[in-house]
Amino acid sequence: MKFTRGYWMTRDNFTMNFATQCVRVEKTDRQLHVLAACRPVRGRGDILNSATLDVTFTSPMENVIRVKVTHFAGKVDRAPHFATLETPTHPSIAEDAESVSFTSGCLTARVVKQEGVWQVDYLCGDTLLTSSSYHGMAHALDRDTGKPYMIDSLMLDVGERVYGLGERFTPYVKNGQSVDMWNADGGTASELAYKNIPFYMTNRGYGVFVEDTSDVSFEIASEKVERVQFSCEGETLIYDIICGGTPKETLNLYTALTGRPPILPAWSFGLWLSTSFTTDYDEKTTSSFIDGMKERDIPLSVFHFDCYWMRGYNWCDFIWDPQTFPDPEGMLQRYHEKGLHLCCWINPYIAQASHMFQEGMEHGYLLKKTNGDVWQTDLWQAGMGIVDVTNPDARAWYCGYLKKLLRMGVDCLKTDFGERIPVKDIAYFDGSSPLHMHNYYTFLYNQMVFETIKEVRGEGEAILFARSATAGSQQFPVHWGGDNSASYVSMAETLRAGLSMSHSGFGYWSHDISGFESTAPADVYKRWVQFGILSSHSRLHGSTSYRVPWAFDEESVDVVRKFVKLKNRLMPYLYGAMLEAHEKGTPMMRPMMLEFPDDEACETLDRQYMLGERLLVAPIFRKDGSVSYYLPGGCWTSLLSGESKEGGTWQKETHDFFSLPLMVRPGTVLPLGQRDDRPDYDYEDGLELHVYALCEGESVTVRIPDLKGKICAVYTVTMKNGQAQVETDSVKPYTVILH
């Protein structure tokens, strides 16, 4: 939201109260309180007829400073708040004649004490990171609507770039963009986003998390080109400055504060195949897909039933359509016997034709209007209502139906929607603010489903396929990118969105291979298969047509087979990368700048990524197979061809459908498993350690997890006299291969 017209003028409808100078300081052992006058105070009369802003500095964990800015403190707080995982800290406070400082770990907030000057500097040690300064912090009143807003803006340095803010399909670097935190079902070709996360980081080694669940508005080098401005409706603004020093460490701190991604079951990393959305299918059809994959030697891990496993007009009643699936329990058992895990589509909307609508209405489980009526719409399902997730009894009722489904034999759930949550004339069970619940609804929705699966299936076995999200939703994975199109352009925007998700604390992400809308030509399908299988999670899904590879051409069958089997062999490495996401918040699919923060060439790269710490992937977005990608310094090796290339340069290549740039980082020991037919197996048994460009005297340690995410073996490889020497606690045979 923009409040000014140029540098000096305010927009006509706004009355602005800017923090102008520090007039009072109060210190305790754990917090610093500053009173900011909104005009220069030169004498006693200047305190009259003028606003102040109360600014409080605290520290929820070391190297994180929380800033709370309040105009009127008497406003009733009905907003849901992000749950943060705080740890005790012992900040230090120092004051002299010129300033007062609040320090947590290496991070300091320094407030200038000078007449007519407002300046808060944030420093990492002695290095200035950013500042809130002249016309930065403010309260605004929209005289046309009567709505108040709280604002702050932080300075950007020369060459400073901003990343994150959730899953955004717009340019990867956010400088110059206006971004509003408002979850919406807008597809992937728009500025709207399914997953809005009010957290950004910059290439200077810090991040900012605005702790407000409403539609926080960001102006990123847009309204004021020297600053990132953020604002929200209300009388209080809370945000955290997070200083990790590096992008990885900043994500480590942010996810420690908002929640880490959990350990996921190893089977979830295999290939998922869907019925697709509006296609006609029954058990005969789905069995033909499953058997067709087996006949063509394509390993399949998960089969997904989309919306029409239930009857139309009845979504969601969690009852299998008796016309198409007359024996669901028997079918699920038969599919389990084929070695599959099974997923079903759900959402939090209850159609009027469903028996659950009457139940929900009678017991007060559905979202209501302020007059007590059930809120209803015909958009999506006729007369549908929405589960009121703030009502504990409603959550138990809804999840009770899910438990029956899970005990029938379903292993996981696709939690679709959660973005179309009404705001006007809405009354929640617990009195929550509808404005703040619009985005936060998805957190409670996915949380209750994830916890239900965990309760039934056990720790480490819970997984969703979720579309909507907010801050902290990384605790309930996996998230996929929503409704994309069947084109190279949409494939590229899907990658940009995923990279932004990675900057926002999400350890895993996926997408509809070959696009959801329309049907891709065979070349797009095959190129997207490469990208999709070299993602953390891989799903073949679409709208109006089946996505089995033989529906495109026979070569597609061979391409899918090749890359699924490759991913299965990579599982000792990929499952280790999953553990890193769980332990440190470092995403499995990570932007280049996250892994190479000191290489300025990596700061804008949005058509390639690192898969874990050691593999570089450059998807191909052109029909002719041409690709241009950048290699950081050192000698990189193609995992597919064995060809070596010197880094520090751009590479231009052309690839057939069985190849793409999949490059191994210099100094890598890459563990490959012995099996290519499934993702869940004993990774230690028959392990191969592939050694790439390891320097003389250099050592690399590789940890091999078991299927519960516990480390079962450790291998330390050292290059001595041109030979790889291995120290290990494993008693199982392994092979070392030098490249």
Catalytic option among 317, 416, 517, 603: 416
Asked if residue 72 lies in contact with residue 54, where contact means CB atoms within 8 angstroms, the answer is no
Residues 631, 734, single domain; the answer is no
Query: Residue 190's domain is classified under what CATH number?
Result: 2.60.40.1760
Domain boundary among 617, 641, 659: 659
Reduce the DSSP state of residue 15 to 3 states and report it.
Answer: strand
Nearest CA-CA partner of 459 in 84, 709, 713: 709
End residue of a domain, out of 258, 275, 310: 258
Does 525 map to a domain? no
Q: Is residue 311 part of a domain?
A: no
DSSP state of 74: T
* Cβ contact 167:467 at 8 Å: no
- Residue 705 resides in a domain: yes
Q: Is 353 within the bounds of a domain?
A: no
- 655 and 672: one domain? no
- Is the domain of 649 the same as that of 730? no
- Same domain for 165 and 108, yes or no, is yes
Catalytic residue among 211, 249, 317, 483: 483
Enumerate residues 6+ apart whose C-beta is below 8 A from 277.
Answer: 306, 307, 308, 516, 541, 542, 543, 544
- Give me the numbers of helices (H) and strands (E) for the chain, helices first please: 11, 46
Q: For the sheet containing 302-305, what is the strand order?
A: 412-415, 341-346, 302-305, 271-274, 538-540
**What domain range includes position 151?**
4-72+91-258
Which among 152, 219, 419, 461 is annotated as catalytic? 419
Q: Are residues 148 and 97 in the same domain?
A: yes
- The three-point CA angle 140-143-148 to 5° equals 35
* Per-residue pLDDT tens over the stretch 347-401: 999 999 999 999 999 999 999 999 999 999 999 999 999 999 999 999 999 999 9
Backbone angles phi, psi at 676, to 5 degrees: -120, 5
For β-strands 92-95 and 99-104, DSSP reports them as antiparallel
User: Within 201-340, where are the H helices?
Assistant: 247-258, 283-295, 328-337
Distances 186 to 191, 213, 519, 691 between C-alpha atoms, Å: 8, 20, 19, 45
pTM of the model: 0.97
Which pLDDT value is given to residue 7?
Answer: 85
Query: Residue 8: what pLDDT?
Result: 86
Closest CA relative to residue 316, chosen from 194, 419, 402, 411 = 402
In a domain, 282, yes or no: no
User: What whole-number distance in Å separates Cα of residue 248 and Cα of residue 594?
Assistant: 6
Beta carbons of 622 and 607 less than 8 angstroms apart: no
Encoded tokens for 237? 């603004």
Query: How many structural domains is the chain composed of?
Result: 3
Q: How far apart are the first and last CA of the chain?
A: 54
Say if residue 104 is in the same domain as residue 125. Answer: yes
The span from the CA of 357 to the CA of 351, in Å, is 6
Geometric angle at alpha carbon 589, from 305 and 701, rounded to 5°: 120
Judged by DSSP in three states, 661 sits in coil
- What span, in angstroms and rounded, lies between the C-alpha atoms of 349 and 416? 10
Question: Do 458 and 488 touch, CB atoms closer than 8 A?
Answer: no
DSSP designation for 648: S
DSSP 8-class letter at 44: G
Closest CA to 282 of 232, 322, 329, 230: 322
Q: Are residues 622 and 732 in the same domain?
A: no
Residues 105, 20: one domain? Answer: yes
Which CATH number belongs to the domain containing residue 635 in this structure? 2.60.40.1180
Q: Is 122 within 8 Å of 241 (Cβ atoms)? A: yes
Domain check: are 102 and 230 in the same one?
Answer: yes
Spatial separation of the C-alpha atoms in residues 594 and 584, rounded to whole Å: 13
Structure tokens at 448: 């209750």
620 assigned to some structural domain: yes
Pair (61, 132) in one structural domain: yes
Tell which of 659, 687, 706 closes a domain: 659
In this structure, is residue 59 part of a structural domain?
Answer: yes
Helix, strand, or coil here: 229?
strand
The tokens describing 487, both together, are: 């084109």
- The answer to whether residues 617 and 685 belong to one domain is no
Query: Do residues 509 and 480 lie in contact, with contact meaning Cβ atoms separated by under 8 Å?
Result: yes
H helical segments located in 518-674: 522-533, 554-569, 571-584, 592-595
| DSSP 8-state symbol, 269 | G
The closest of 261, 141, 247, 155 to 204, measured between CA atoms, is 247
**Same domain as 9, residue 115:** yes
**Does residue 139 sit within a domain?**
yes
* Contact criterion met (CB below 8 Å) for 404 and 336: no
Q: Does the annotation count 685 as an active-site position?
A: no
Is 483 labeled as catalytic in the residue annotation?
Answer: yes
Cβ atoms of 290 and 338 closer than 8 Å: yes
Two tokens, residue 397: 């009722």
DSSP-assigned beta bridge partners for residue 384: 377
The pLDDT of residue 29: 86
Q: What is the mean pLDDT of each run of 10 residues along the chain (739 residues)?
A: 92 96 94 97 93 98 98 96 95 97 98 96 98 97 98 98 98 98 95 97 98 98 97 98 97 98 98 98 97 98 98 97 97 98 98 98 98 98 98 98 98 98 98 98 98 97 98 98 97 98 98 98 98 98 98 98 98 98 98 98 98 98 98 98 97 98 98 98 98 96 97 97 95 96
